[in-house]
Amino acid sequence: MKLNWLLPFVLIALTISCNDDINKIGTSIDDTLISIKVDNSLAYTTADSVYSIPAGPVTNRTIIQMLGAVDMVDYGSIRADFLTQMRPIAKFDSRLVTEDMLDSLVLELGFLPSSFLGDSLTPMQVSVYPLNKVLEKPIYSNLDPTDYFSPEEILGQQIYTTSRQSYPDSLINSDGSRIIKIKLARPGHTSKELAQEFFKLYNDKGGILTESDIADFFPGVYVTNTYGKGVLINILSSVIKIYHDTYVYNDQGGGGLEENEDITNDDGTHPLVVNKATTSVLVSSNEVPTINHIISTNASYIENAIADDRAIIKSPDGYDAHITFPVTDIIKKYREVVPEEAENTGAVSGLINAINFSIPIKKSANDIFSNYGLTPPPYLLLMRAGGKVADSNGDIVEMDKNQFFLDRKLTDGLNYFYASYNSTTNTYDFGNIRGFITNIIQKNPNGGSIENGYPIDSDLILVPVMLSTTTSDYYGTIINAITPYISAPTFVELDTKNIKIEMVYSTKTY
* Full strand arrangement of the beta sheet holding 274-283: 87-88, 274-283, 237-247, 102-111, 178-184
- Rounded-to-integer distance, Cα 256 and Cα 263, Å: 10
- Quick check: helix, strand or coil at residue 442? helix
Indicate the number of domains in the chain: 2
* Same domain flag for 205 and 315: no
Residue 115 within a domain: yes
Q: Are 372 and 487 in contact (CB under 8 A)?
A: no
Q: Which of 285, 316, 348 is the C-terminal boundary of a domain?
A: 285
* Same domain flag for 357 and 376: yes
Per DSSP (E only), the strands in 176-230 are 178-184, 221-227
* Same domain flag for 393 and 272: no
Q: How far is CA 114 from CA 108, 162, 359, 371, 421, in A?
A: 18, 9, 29, 15, 20
* Same domain flag for 278 and 314: no
Measured from the Cβ of residue 405, the count of other Cβ atoms closer than 10 Å reads: 22
Residue 252 within a domain: yes
* Same domain flag for 467 and 496: yes
* Same domain flag for 345 and 383: yes
- Rounded-to-integer distance, Cα 383 and Cα 322, Å: 10
* Same domain flag for 39 and 154: no
* Same domain flag for 51 and 70: no
Residue 1 within a domain: no
Residue 466 within a domain: yes
Radius of gyration, alpha carbons of the chain: 30
Tens digit of pLDDT per residue, the chain (510 long)?
444 433 333 333 333 333 333 233 333 344 557 777 774 443 433 335 899 999 998 887 676 789 999 999 999 999 999 999 999 999 988 778 889 999 999 999 999 888 888 888 889 999 999 999 999 888 899 999 999 999 999 999 999 988 877 677 777 777 778 899 999 999 999 999 999 999 999 999 999 999 889 988 889 999 999 999 999 998 989 999 999 998 876 554 445 555 555 555 555 555 556 788 999 999 998 888 899 999 999 999 999 999 998 999 999 889 999 999 999 999 999 999 888 887 888 888 889 999 999 999 998 887 888 778 889 999 999 999 999 999 989 999 999 999 999 899 999 999 999 999 999 999 999 999 999 999 999 999 999 999 999 999 999 999 999 998 888 888 788 899 999 998 889 999 999 988 999 999 888 887
- Rounded-to-integer distance, Cα 382 and Cα 430, Å: 8
* Same domain flag for 46 and 105: no
Residue 299 within a domain: no
Q: Are 462 and 381 in contact (CB under 8 A)?
A: yes
Domain range for 73 is 65-285
Residue 464 within a domain: yes
* Same domain flag for 87 and 236: yes
**Residue-wise pLDDT tens digits, 183-211:** 999 999 999 999 999 999 999 999 999 98
pLDDT, residue 251, reads 56
Q: Which of 285, 318, 339 is the C-terminal boundary of a domain?
A: 285
Q: Which of 258, 285, 312 is the C-terminal boundary of a domain?
A: 285
* Same domain flag for 314 and 405: yes
Residue 246 within a domain: yes
Q: Which of 263, 343, 284, 324 is nearest to 461 (CA)?
A: 324
* Same domain flag for 261 and 397: no
Residue 291 within a domain: no
